[in-house]
Amino acid sequence: MTVLDVIQRSTDYLSKKGVDSPRLQIELLLAHQLKLRRLQLYLNFDRVLTAGDLEALRAFVTRRGERVPLQHLVGSVSFCGMELGVGPEVLIPRPETEMLAERAVKWLGERKDAGATGLRALDYGTGSGCLALWIASKCDSVEVHALDISAAALERAKDNARRNSLDSRVTFHEGDGLSSWDPGLTLDLLISNPPYIPTEEISSLEPEVRDFDPRQALDGGPDGLTFYRRLASEASEFVRPGGLLLLELGDGQGDSVRALLSTEKWVVEAILPDYSARPRVLVAHRH
C-alpha cells in the first residue's frame, strides 16, 4: 500500500467514525510515523509502506477512530512553538491559550523595562505546565511558580520542564487552589486557564474532550464559574497592589466574570477576543 492509498482509505474510515478533519488527521499520523513533515507526504504519495509502518498506522487509525485525541497518539503538542508531552493526566493545551501566555510575557517585559525587579508569577492550574514554562522561557528574571491539585499533572509538567531545560526555572506546588499558599510569596502576576465548563455540559462535549481530558481540568461547577468566584477572593490576598490577573474565559462567560471581579479589590481592564473573535482573556489589576 502506498502513502496515497493509506490517506484515502483512512480518510473514509475516520470520516465514518465522526472524526473532524479526517484527512488532516491521517496526514499528521502518517507524517509522525514516517518522521516526515506533513507537506513532504505530498512528494511521497507513491512510496510503498513497510509492513511495520502499516501495522503501526493501522493501530493509530483504529485508536483515532475510537476518538482518542491525535495528541495522545503522537504523545506531544506544540504550544507557542515549545514541544510538550501530553497524556490523559493533563488537558491538551489549546491554541487560544497561547494568547494568555503572550499577554503575560508582554506585561512582564513592560514591567521589567520600567525597572521592576524581583517579579513573581504563578500559573494556577498548570496542567501540562504550558503557561508557566512559556513565561519561564521568555522572562528570565521572573520567579515562576506553578500550582495544580493533581499530582499526576504535576509530574507531567515537571517532565515538560526537563524536556525544555527549564526545570531550574519553575517551582511546582501541589495544592487545592491557594488554600495553603505561603503568604510570603506575594505575586505580581497570577495567570490561569481554570476549569470552566458547566458540569452538565461536559457530557455533550466531543468524545476527544469528554473522555480523554481529565474531568478535573474541565469541570467548572454548576454554572462553570466556580473557579472565577474562588479566584476573585483567593487571589486578592496574594496579588500585590498593581499586580495583574490574567484569566482565560469559556464561551459566553465574559460578562459574568467581569461582574465577579468588579469588586473593591480588582479593576477589570479589558476582555480580549480570541482568533475567532470570541471574548477569551480577562485582564484585571489589583487595586
Ligand X SMILES: C[S@@+](CC[C@H](N)C(=O)[O-])C[C@H]1O[C@@H](n2cnc3c(N)ncnc32)[C@H](O)[C@@H]1O
Query: Which residues contribute to the site for ligand X (CB under 6 A)?
Result: 91, 93, 97, 125-128, 130-131, 147-150, 153, 176-177, 193-195, 216-217
Q: For residues 65 and 195, which CB has a smaller minimum distance to ligand X in the complex?
A: 195
Q: Which residues contact 132 (CB under 8 A, 6 or more apart)?
A: 121, 123, 126, 144, 145, 146, 157, 170
Shortest separation between residue 145's beta carbon and ligand X, angstroms: 12
Shortest separation between residue 175's beta carbon and ligand X, angstroms: 6
Q: For residues 57 and 284, which CB has a smaller minimum distance to ligand X in the complex?
A: 284
Q: For residues 54 and 88, which CB has a smaller minimum distance to ligand X in the complex?
A: 88
Q: For residues 31 and 249, which CB has a smaller minimum distance to ligand X in the complex?
A: 249
User: How far is residue 97's CA from residue 107's CA, in Å, rounded to a whole number?
Assistant: 16
User: How far is residue 74's CA from residue 204's CA, in Å, rounded to a whole number?
Assistant: 25
User: How far is residue 134's CA from residue 166's CA, in Å, rounded to a whole number?
Assistant: 9
Shortest separation between residue 136's beta carbon and ligand X, angstroms: 14
Please name which of 122, 119, 123 lies closest in space to residue 111, comparing C-alpha atoms: 119
Shortest separation between residue 124's beta carbon and ligand X, angstroms: 6
Residues 119 and 102 sit within 8 Å (Cβ to Cβ): no
Q: For residues 10 and 137, which CB has a smaller minimum distance to ligand X in the complex?
A: 137
Shortest separation between residue 126's beta carbon and ligand X, angstroms: 5
284, containing H or E segment: strand 279-286
